[in-house]
Every structure is written in structure tokens, then in C-alpha cells.
Amino acid sequence: MRFLHTFLLLVVGFATVTVVYCASFLPLERTFPLNRPVEIDRLKTRDLVRHARLLQRVSVGGIVDFPVEGSSDPFQAGLYFTKVKLGSPPREFNVQIDTGSDVLWVNCNSCSDCPQSSALGIQLNFFDAASSSTAGLVACSDPICTSAVQTTATECSSQNNQCGYAFKYGDGSGTSGFYISDTFRFDAILGDSLISNASALIVFGCSTYQSGDLTKTDKAVDGIFGFGQGDLSVISQLSSRGITPRVFSHCLKGEGNGGGILVLGEILEPGLVYSPLVPSQPHYNLNLQSIAVNGQLLPIDPAVFATENNRGTIVDSGTTLAYLVEEAYDPFVSAVTSTVSQLATPTISNGDHCYLVPTSISDIFPPVILNFAGGASMVLKPEEYLTHRGSYDGAAMWCMGFEKSQGGITILGDLVLKDKIIVYDLARQRVGWASYDCSLAVNVSMTSGKDQFVNAGQLSMSISSREMVFQLLPLRIMTLLVHTFVFTICEFL
């Protein structure tokens, strides 16, 4: 959908929410039946949720699971997206999963340039602040607009006292609109067997203008779900209030119809390796140190990957392909071509380096290894650096999925990130990964740094004294355990 992002540093503050409890006559029902033994862990979990309500918190170190759709194939979806529920009553929006930007924004009903239909087979929705009983505009006096560090992400309209924004992406597309404060609804996992409806007040964008690729219908979605490190990202808003851990993870399925797993929490896998984030960067910058093809290090000066002067290596799920700086791209393509020249026929198609392959690419093309700081290596299979372009003269045509970067930035997009667990650990300032079949369930830590964990996907519980496991499969929405509340809450925003 788009390939590059501009750098946005968002510094914000959050408005205080006041909650007033209203008295009424209420029927009482027991959560646990009389005269039956109840495990102490279940009682603790119930109390934890009750205390969280009294403290006006959704959870304590809980995790949030999202369904994932889309694929990395540029000739199909070319992006991964998930669903979010906003407003009261809640409306559902399909938004692109984007670790290269910060803000969650959705199409506003007043948008005149937003696409009206999508070739992805989804119905597009538009947010209407007037129809949500919990929506509130963000005023110019709000810390979002009055922060000492102003960026292009915020702007104030003195005419209507609305805090607005304007984003420009690297592919030339852009969006602008205004900020909304409203209820974000999600599925939270707490304790052992409790999965409950949850909600939190967040700030997000309502898009009133779009340009470039964002206006096209071929891959149109309802907006973009920014997972960056900025204060306005949803992960930052929720973790700052103790609702979720300060870590999120995804596992994007590359084969078939795609899909996968997205969770606010830390996926645990024995094969995970981690590399430290480059400090004080607005994106997920890593120190790429070298590249090896078929076990041989390429003659590339490590300085070309250094994070300085708008250069560096970025992990970005909002980019479909992958991009290498020019100094690394040419040696990379030459090494791959030299390795396969006896078994595949090199050719040029639409300006891209391609190969006519008579058999499986796994039998011909070499593994590629990206070496990062901290001793962490990422091994790429042929389908993680090549894209299939059909056939020619009875042979399959595979082309380089790595493009030559025009801006001196190396970007690892979905082509590289697919079929791997990727963990963005903001608390420890590191990114981890491991090759994985993303159609399988994954273990997810309840609280970053602790040994309590759950499994993201469909519910299937197994409990011991030190661990709690839930079975959550990708592309499945969690079954909710319905509890009867014995009080009424009136919220005044």
C-alpha cells in the first residue's frame, strides 16, 4: 500500500476521565455457585478484575489479542490489517498494522477524498463523532497541541478550537484531520481463565482529507493503526496506564491467505533472538552490521547501515517489500545471481532483477543472513527475499523483493517479517524474532519480565502453579466469558 514513512515524533499528554457511579435496584447473581469448591486462582482473578474496576483501570498487565487479515503478497493484499472497535455504541474499523508510524486514525464521515469501496473484500466504515455518546474533541489547550516539542503531527485551528494533525508519507500520500477522544474496546486476558470485554479512553485521529495512494480503492482500508514508540500510539497510551505491558508482538503468515497473530504482550518462544534498539529514534531502528549470502559475508562497509543523518535500518510492518541502501544492494544482487547462475536464468522484468527458475527456489537459491548488533542473526529463506511474478517460457519467474533504497534507509518490510514471531519490547528497548509457523498458537507473557504467560488464540486452558496457558489460534476471535455485573456505572466524559 505504501513503502516509506516520514519520521514523526509525537509528544502528548492524556486527559483525565471522571467516572460517576449511579444507584439503582439491581438483581444479584452469583459468579461462583454455592457448595462447590472453587480454585483460589479463580478467586484471585475475580478480585483482580473487581479491584481494577474500582480503581478505574481495565487490567493490570493484561494482554490484548487482535485478529489479523491480509498478506505480504504485493499482487494480493500487500498489507496486513486488523479490526478495532471505537465509540459508543462501538463501530468496527479495518486498519493497517503499521509499526512505522505512531497514530491510530480512521476515516471520518466528513472526509470527501476517502475511498468509498475496497478491492480487499471489506466494507469501509466512517467514524461519526456525533453518533458516539462518549466522543469528545481534543481542544487546542490540550497537552497534545501545547507540548513544548511541536511536530507536524499536531496543529491547532483557532477558528474552532480543534487540535488537528497532518501526516505525509514517503510514497507521497498524506492525510489530515482532527483528534478525537473516545472509547477503544478490546478483548483483554487477565489471570488464568478470564477473558472479558474491556475498554479504555484513547486519543486517535479522524481523517477528513487524504491524498496519493490512500485515495485508491485497490487496497483501501478504514485507516492506519500506528504501533510506533510515540506517546500517542495506542500501545503507549495503554501501557502508560498499566492496562497492557509495554511490549507487543506479531506473527504474520506468508503462505496461503495470510493472516496471523497480533497481540499487546510478549510472545515467548525458545528460538527468539534479540537486538537492541538504537536509542532516541522515532522508529524501530536496529544496528544492521553485515549480510551473508550462502555463508559468505558480502564486501559491505558496516558504516553504510549506521543510524545517522536520516540513514539506518528500520523494522516497518507498513512496508510491503524490503529496501537496501545502494552500497549494499548491488553486492547483494550480484552474490545471489552468481550463486544461482548455473541453475536459473537471470533476466530483467520491468527494471527488476528476476530469474527464470525451472524447479523449486528452495533447491536453487541460497539462504541470506542479516547480522545485527548483540549477536542476533535473521536467516531469510528464498521466498523471504524473492517475489513470484508468474511464469515465462514454461519456467517460474521470481524477482528480487529487495529494492534499492533511494533515501539511504534500509527498511525491513512484510516480505522479511512474515513467517516470524516479531517482538517489539519497548520496556527493554529491543526487538526480537524467530522463524515460526504463524498458523500455530503462541505463548504470550502476561506481564513483561515475569514468568506468567498465556497462549494467544482460541481458548483452551492448562494451569500449573507457575504458568497459565490459553490456546489462541490466529484468525480466530476470542470467546468471551460473560460475567453479570452487580452495579451500574455512568460515565461522564
Q: 362-393: per-residue pLDDT in tens?
A: 999 999 999 999 999 999 999 999 999 988 88
Q: Label residues 68-101 b or e (16+ Cβ within 10 Å = b).
A: bbbbbbbeebbbbbbbbbbbbebbebbbbbbbbb
pLDDT higher for 18 or 177?
177
Model pTM score: 0.80
pLDDT higher for 155 or 178?
178
Q: How confident is the model at residue 447 (pLDDT cuts 50, 70, 90)?
A: low
Smallest CA-to-CA distance from 310 within 275, 277, 283 is with 283
Question: What average pLDDT score do residues 425-449 get?
Answer: 88
Per annotation, catalytic residue among 102, 142, 222, 316: 316
pLDDT at 109: 94
Q: How far apart are CA 416 and CA 436, in angstroms?
A: 13
196 with 62: CB under 8 angstroms? Answer: no
Per annotation, catalytic residue among 65, 73, 98, 419: 98
pLDDT higher for 247 or 192?
247
For the chain, give every domain's residue range: 61-244, 268-445
Q: How confident is the model at residue 457 (pLDDT cuts 50, 70, 90)?
A: very low
pLDDT at 167: 86
| Residue 175 φ/ψ, nearest 5 degrees | -150, 150
- Is residue 347 scored above 50 in pLDDT? yes
Q: How far apart are CA 24 and CA 170, in angstroms?
A: 55
pLDDT at 146: 66
Percent of the chain with pLDDT over 70: 74
Question: What average pLDDT score do residues 454-475 get?
Answer: 40
What is the CB neighbour count within 10 angstroms for residue 116? 10
pLDDT at 426: 96
pLDDT at 189: 77
pLDDT at 472: 53
330 has catalytic annotation: no
Q: How far apart are CA 376 and CA 409, in angstroms?
A: 20
Read off the C-alpha cell for 144.
497534545
Q: How far apart are CA 151 and CA 298, in angstroms?
A: 39
- Is residue 201 scored above 80 in pLDDT? yes
Output the average pLDDT for the chain. Answer: 79
pLDDT at 162: 86
Q: How far apart are CA 23 and CA 59, in angstroms?
A: 24
Least reliable range by pLDDT among 120-129, 184-193, 327-336, 406-415:
184-193
Q: Do domains 61-244 and 268-445 have the same CATH topology?
A: yes
Grid cell 549470502 is found at 293
Q: How confident is the model at residue 416 (pLDDT cuts 50, 70, 90)?
A: very high
Classify 61 in phi/psi space as left (phi over 0), alpha (psi -120 to 50) or beta. left
Q: How confident is the model at residue 344 (pLDDT cuts 50, 70, 90)?
A: very high
Give pLDDT tens digits for 239-289.
999 888 999 999 999 988 889 999 999 999 999 999 999 999 989 999 999
Question: What average pLDDT score do residues 192-204 get?
Answer: 77
CATH class for domain 61-244?
mainly beta
What is the CB neighbour count within 10 angstroms for residue 432? 23
Smallest CA-to-CA distance from 283 within 170, 371, 381 is with 170
Q: How far apart are CA 71 and CA 250, in angstroms?
A: 13
pLDDT at 259: 94
Q: Pairing state of beta strands 223-226 and 91-98? A: parallel
Written as one letter, the residue type at 155 is E
98 has catalytic annotation: yes
Question: What average pLDDT score do residues 330-357 get?
Answer: 94
Q: Please give the CATH number for the structural domain made up of 268-445.
A: 2.40.70.10
